[in-house]
Structure 1
Amino acid sequence: MTTSFFDKIKLFKGAEIQPKRPPAEPAEEEKKLSLGDRLRRGPWLFLAVATIIIALFLTARPSQSLSALVQGDVAPADITAPFDLLIEDPEATAVKKEEAAAAVLPVYSFDANVFANTEDKVRRLFAEGRDWTARFPGDHKTDELRTQLLDKLSIDIELQDLTALVKLRFPAELEEVLVGLSAKIFDQGIIPSKNLFIHGEAERGLTLRDLQGAERTVRAEGILDIGESEHRFADELEKIEIPARNRTLLSNLGQIFLTANVTYNKIETERRKTQARSEVGVVTFTVKKDRVIVRKGDEVVAHSLKVLNEYNRLIRRRSIWLPNFVGSLLLYFFLLSTLWYYLQTVYKPQPAERQFRMTGTALVGSLVLYKMFLTLAVTIGGAVTSPALSQVEMYYYAFPLQAGTLIFAFLVPDPMTFLYIILNSLTVGILLGGNFPLTIFSFVGGLAALYGVKYYKKRYRAATLRAGFVILPAVNVFVILAFHLIDRSTDFAFFASEVAMALLGGAASAVLAFLLLPLVETAFGFVTGSKLLELTNSDLPVFRQLSMEAPGSYHHSLVVATLAEKAAEELGLDAQLAKAGALYHDIGKSKMPEYFIENRSREFDLHKDLTPSMSTLVIKNHVKEGVELARKLKLPRPLRDIIEQHHGSSLVRFFYAKAKRTYDPEQQTVGEESYRYAGPVPQTKEAGLVMLADAIEAASRSLKFPTKDNLKRVIADIINATLQDDQLDGCDFSIRELRSVAASFLTVLYAIYHPRVEYPGFGFNGRKPNKTVPARKKDNDRDHQPPEKTPGPDEGV
């Protein structure tokens, strides 16, 4: 329906409106509060304590130096390790490095060009020989040929062998046999002498590396020296069917052409040894806390002295603890102070202080939790022997880093959750020694947790489990994979273990958040959808008692709950909170129900014999009784606030007017403040809706003709009067929102009071039965009933 009717709602004070009531003076005890009391009531004491605790956890206190002894001294008392310490062992590391270097096989270069040159010489020898025999038949100039070959090819052949070749006219068959056998021998590898094997080749073998970089490992026996190559050449000749004289000739020629093609590569061998040394990690050993380093009466040996010196060196380095502590203190004091000032500008004082205390408590609690998991990680990492599980840093991913974020995402607005994600990620990075990847891991995981809770409907606690078991692990794995791809130096051998830890961390965060959520709700006064569903169960004893002892108030609360809930839905507020607050707002009337008009008969009025001031005290007392009962029922703080604020500081108009009529204005005056509720005025929009719904529902019941026009007038006048009385100053309603509220109220009330046709044959309205009653005319949805003056919300109390 349209809301044009409500344009007349006065949102600004006009000349005809009474001046705004002057602000109340501060209570006398408030004026007398000392500076210390004010600090204790404000957030500053909490901020100081939280900052000190955080700084202490981030900077562990240093231990006292151990006894300064020298080797050979006798220990005057037992000296124990003050903390766990991982100590490097340079001597053992040096031994490991040398062992790694010694394990490197000597590298020998295999030069394939040696055979190529040899083959070329053989080919040229036979070519020159065939050319010579063609020009000079016979063997009478063999000496000249020998000289020519020596000068031209540097080949010195015995005269008798050369004469034999001339006589055979340098046949191609011998040439091919010589080349083929030479290739076979050269391919095995020839070294000048095996006396050069002085690097352990005979025991361990060697690496044979060709010019193209291809290499193979061979035993020393697989390499031939010059003598062995000549014998191998001769043995291979024996396998070939050729004349004996030719076999001898080729054997002599093989001795000329067989030469070394394998040499020791010292540069490459040393390079590999250097690399092997560099790949050896530092050898360490762990000294556990409280382990006895030197017993009383024992002589200090070299190993014990090394441990003592290492502890003292580290303790001296930790002597900068105080500057670190002061730095951490200043950093977090600045961060938390900035957070407090930000919350003050965004939220009202009570929600701002609650969220600030929750943030500080969460940071301290998370630090304690991370410290415990860090100790556990060090213990497990030191005890596990598997290389894939021995890295302590890997266990960081299993920390429940997002437990606090899941709780924040469930309970507080998203901007506040985002600020906690930043602070938590920064704290994780500092605690773990400036671990930047883990800081990013925590930050991205926090965003995933926030999204997961929103995705799985934050009104239900199971959203924390779903987010932690589904979305958070997937994002954690994605971040770890990204780290490995960005930093290629990281070892993918640990990837599977890190992924397993990340999955465990997501699950741990979800379970921990789910278990702690009810405690956090109770401790900081939050109320969730699940809790509200429990509290609005009509079978609860408090509602049964109210329905039996104050049935009118109970029914009134039901209607107010419907009004407040529908209006909250229109404005996008917490409809469940508004409904629950409305259901509980009058539970204090169960103490003295007969003093309220909705719970008594028309003939019996207990206020008849009371003065207006006494009646006002009785009426106002139902708010106090309601708050007391809410505390006994352990209702959440938001519901107690609605009970306390649903009348604000409004005026009990009926008895105030009665007092002014009763007392003689000549002799005494009636102070308005005595007839006002204690307050405070509503501080949230949900509380404001309950106030308006309470007043409008009560006023609408006093209408004799609850037509749509009269209902509109009641709604408009009550909202306007409430505004002019400053009761909605703490709610920050906009004009658009008030018009939406008014339209929603009218829709619900008109549905309750809608007219019905009369039943034929009955005289419910005092008419004679069976008499035809003409239907009333309507035009433009207006009932033709006389307009009524808007009654006050407590009229007829």
Structure 2
Amino acid sequence: MEGRLIPQTYDIKAGAASEKTIYATKQIENAIGTQKAKEEAARRVQPVYSILSMKNESLVDTTFEKLKQINADDQLNTNDKASIFRNVFPTMYGDYVTMLSASIRTSDPANDGLLNEVKTALADQMYRIPEEFYFKFPKLSKEDLDEMEPVAKEIVGRLMNDQLLNAQTARTRVAEFVNSSSLSKRESREMVQEIVRFVLTPNKFPNQKATDEARAEARDGTKPVYINKGDVLVHKGELVTEETYERLKAMDLLKEKTNYWPQLGLMLLSGLFVLGLFMFVSHSEHPIRSQNLQLLMLVLIYVLNVFVMKVVSLGPYANIGYLAPVAMGSMLIAILIGTPLALASSMVFALLSSVIFNTGGEQLFDFRYGLLALVVCITSVYAIQQANQRSSILKSGIMVSLSGAVTVLCMTFLDNVYTRSEIMFSFGFTVASGLLTAVLVIGLMPFFEVTFSILSPLKLVELSNPNHPLLRKLLIETPGTYHHSVMVGNLSEAAAESVGANGLLCRVGSYYHDIGKTKRPSYFIENQMSMGNPHDQIEPDLSKSIIIAHARDGVEMLKEHNIPKPIRDIAEQHHGTTLLKFFYFKAKKLQEEGAEPIPEEDYRYPGPKAQSKEAAIVGIADSVEAAVRSLRSPSIEQIDTMVRKIIKDRLDDGQLSDCDLTLRELETIAKTLNEALLGIFHSRIEYPAGSSPAQAETKEAKQA
């Protein structure tokens, strides 16, 4: 994470060759690139033209009016009229240009450029009537002119409807229109052609002002060009130009001065993460507060999760962070340690993800990866709850894939800047992330279970399988003990769950707690069936040794089969240092008069006393089940008295002094055991005398 937050600096000078390939650590604007992009955008803008309404019909009217006026003067001969026409036509055209210029100035007074373009174009493209036509115009009669005028107006109107940048393109078409007109005289058609060509002008003019405005708008609308985070600033061996040097300086990549603020910020951020987790753990009731081995396991999970995230971040693809199995850490913590710590860790993983996968921008965190990591981590924690087999991890991985895919699609659509390929890659990465999470968790679970002697729910469920070699041995060789163990398992699980202890551990521990009895099954009353009791034939000291040995033998057998330590502890501690009262008093009875008193310690289990709630609960349930089973027809009162007496005897004997069971929890355990035993021995409960069978059935149904 340090590389993401604290950029490396380089001792480099402008004009020197770079010893390393240097990458951009953040996104900055490329000023030169932006300027080039603006100029390119402006260059692509085509010149803007203005289309003007030229009012050429008015010039047609003026022309024919002059022709009629001059031709009607009988005092002038043909030469005089030709001379006048030679001057009148340019004058009419000049007056037309003046009138048009005034109109443009009025409509757009600030656009001098357009006015100049119009004047220049009209002057350059003015049609010069051939000299011979000046001598032909005087020959036109008033009737000829009246016939020619509407034809000329129509042709001018039709040709001026087009956008004319060059009037010559329209003048080449005049003959075509005139020949198809109603004029019959050849002379009239020739005169009309010349008049129309004279009247035609361009109506499309370059508008430099509008062009400049369009280009300025194109420049302003050009997006800045950025050097993105991760882009190469200078290759190894490449000369560092002034421009590159300035970029390196802008990114604080030069060793011009020592800046310790980023390091301090990283230390503070790491400290906040550690402090937050410490506060959470210290205020929780989880055993991790006092178990350094579990703390070490938590740190290892964090390291593995961050390592995997870092490896994925090195991938070359965009949005590669969606592929990271961030939920792996949360799922492992939920299974191996507990849900509350997994939820707290999910927030830490989300923050780390938003830093590690931040690939651009000026901000420290990329909310996209942080949000995705938070969603998939929380989903994995709740999806893995009540996991009782390895396939549950795969199902949780599928839930992670689905929740992550929905989150990515939501963010992509909200961003509103996406392509089909981007959606497909993002979706595929997220789905693969969930499956990769499940694979890694399944692969790492055995490592943590063996290395840290962790009994996960999945491992406990596997150990509770009746096909386990030890449980099959218990069932086949000691069926009585097997039935007793199952009954103890039911009782202890209910009692443990009532006080918040690990009920599944109590159940599985109960299955194995008397496994040592398979060494000498006939010496335990539940396996004697109809045979005689061998203890009647041997000394109480030997009987004591046989009975006490079953705990030690059980631990050895469990070690041989690699059964985890918490279950071995239950087998070793469920009797604590209790006294074998029957054989102790039998030994005292057989003791010769005058002999030294037999110490109680010789007839006590070697211990140790129960060190955990689970071991203590299994021990209580073991004694309760055996004691109640010894009663022929136990009543509700007898069961309650028996349960409370056993718990009190254990408490008075100091057997519960090393575990953290409270008096309130012992009361809850007593009530729970009473309820469980009531269901087990329901059919054996005696009903008050005088009750009829029908009344008995009614009472039994109500109690059920």
Task: State the 1:234 CA deviation.
Answer: 5.3
Paired with 2:27 and 2:355, the residues of 1 have a C-alpha distance of 25
Q: 1:270 aligns with which of 192, 215, 236?
A: 215
**2:188 is the alignment partner of 1:252:** no
**Alpha carbons of 1:168 and 1:606: their partners in 2 closer, same or farther (altered >3 Å)?**
farther
Q: 2:350 aligns with which of 415, 425, 431?
A: 425
1:199-222: CA deviations, max 9, x gaps? Answer: xxxxxxxxxxxxxxxxxxxxxxxx
2:624·2:642 contact (CA, 8 Å) conserved in 1?
yes
Give the alignment of 1:568-587 within 5 angstroms.
Answer: 576-587=504-515
Query: Which amino acid in structure 1 is aligned with residue 352 of structure 2?
Result: T
Paired with 1:285 and 1:92, the residues of 2 have a C-alpha distance of 18
**2:191 is the alignment partner of 1:261:** no
Residue aligning to 2:681: 749
Task: State the 1:415 CA deviation.
Answer: 2.3
Residue aligning to 1:740: 672
Q: 2:660 aligns with which of 715, 730, 744?
A: 730
SS of 1:347's equivalent?
Answer: coil
Paired with 1:726 and 1:123, the residues of 2 have a C-alpha distance of 125
SS of 2:465's equivalent?
Answer: coil
Paired with 2:96 and 2:143, the residues of 1 have a C-alpha distance of 18
1:559·1:697 contact (CA, 8 Å) conserved in 2?
yes
Task: State the 1:730 CA deviation.
Answer: 2.5
Paired with 2:3 and 2:444, the residues of 1 have a C-alpha distance of 22
Give the alignment of 1:290-439 within 5 angstroms.
Answer: 293-294=236-237, 316=254, 324=262, 327-349=265-287, 353=291, 356-375=295-314, 377=315, 380-381=316-317, 391=318, 394-433=319-358, 434-439=365-370
1:721-748: CA deviations, max 9, x gaps? Answer: 4455565663463745542331112321
SS of 1:534's equivalent?
Answer: helix
Task: State the 1:366 CA deviation.
Answer: 0.9
SS of 1:108's equivalent?
Answer: coil
2:156·2:199 contact (CA, 8 Å) conserved in 1?
no
**Alpha carbons of 1:423 and 1:586: their partners in 2 closer, same or farther (altered >3 Å)?**
same
Q: 1:466 aligns with which of 388, 395, 399?
A: 395
SS of 1:604's equivalent?
Answer: helix
Residue aligning to 1:205: none
| Number of residue pairs aligned between Structure 1 and Structure 2 | 631
SS of 1:647's equivalent?
Answer: coil
- For structure 1, the 5+ residue unaligned runs are 1-54, 74-78, 191-224, 295-299, 382-390, 756-774, 783-797
**Alpha carbons of 1:283 and 1:669: their partners in 2 closer, same or farther (altered >3 Å)?**
closer
1:125·1:153 contact (CA, 8 Å) conserved in 2?
no
Residue aligning to 1:449: 380
Query: Which amino acid in structure 1 is aligned with residue 610 of structure 2?
Result: V
Paired with 1:494 and 1:633, the residues of 2 have a C-alpha distance of 52
Paired with 2:348 and 2:41, the residues of 1 have a C-alpha distance of 52
SS of 2:48's equivalent?
Answer: strand
Query: Which amino acid in structure 2 is aligned with residue 360 of structure 1?
Result: V
Q: 2:155 aligns with which of 165, 177, 198?
A: 177
1:405·1:446 contact (CA, 8 Å) conserved in 2?
yes
1:370-401: CA deviations, max 9, x gaps? Answer: 222222x0xx34xxxxxxxxx3xx21111222
Task: State the 1:578 CA deviation.
Answer: 3.1
1:74-115: CA deviations, max 9, x gaps? Answer: xxxxx9648878999999975994798189445222323x1x
- For structure 2, the 5+ residue unaligned runs are 75-80, 101-125, 359-364, 698-704
Query: Which amino acid in structure 2 is aligned with residue 336 of structure 1?
Result: V
Query: Which amino acid in structure 2 is aligned with residue 583 of structure 1?
Result: Y
Query: Which amino acid in structure 1 is aligned with residue 679 of structure 2?
Result: T
**Alpha carbons of 1:405 and 1:664: their partners in 2 closer, same or farther (altered >3 Å)?**
farther
Task: State the 1:440 CA deviation.
Answer: 1.2
1:656·1:672 contact (CA, 8 Å) conserved in 2?
no
Task: State the 1:421 CA deviation.
Answer: 0.9
Paired with 1:665 and 1:312, the residues of 2 have a C-alpha distance of 101
Paired with 2:646 and 2:341, the residues of 1 have a C-alpha distance of 36
Query: Which amino acid in structure 1 is aligned with residue 436 of structure 2?
Result: A
1:589·1:622 contact (CA, 8 Å) conserved in 2?
yes
Give the alignment of 1:88-107 within 5 angstroms.
Answer: 97=36, 101=40, 104-107=43-46
Residue aligning to 2:516: 588
Paired with 2:517 and 2:302, the residues of 1 have a C-alpha distance of 43
Mean Cα displacement is larger for which, 730-739 or 356-365? 730-739
Q: CA RMSD in A?
A: 5.5
Give the alignment of 1:588-627 within 5 angstroms.
Answer: 588-591=516-519, 596=524, 598=526, 601-605=532-536, 608=539, 610=541, 619-620=547-548, 622-627=550-555
Q: 1:110 aligns with which of 25, 37, 49?
A: 49
Residue aligning to 1:122: 57
SS of 1:703's equivalent?
Answer: coil
Mean Cα displacement is larger for which, 484-493 or 669-678? 669-678
2:647·2:666 contact (CA, 8 Å) conserved in 1?
no
1:111·1:262 contact (CA, 8 Å) conserved in 2?
yes
Paired with 1:606 and 1:320, the residues of 2 have a C-alpha distance of 90
Paired with 1:173 and 1:442, the residues of 2 have a C-alpha distance of 82
2:499·2:669 contact (CA, 8 Å) conserved in 1?
yes
Query: Which amino acid in structure 1 is aligned with residue 57 of structure 2?
Result: V
- Greater relative CO (CA pairs within 8 A, separation 6+): 1
1:630·1:640 contact (CA, 8 Å) conserved in 2?
yes
TM (norm. structure 1) is 0.63
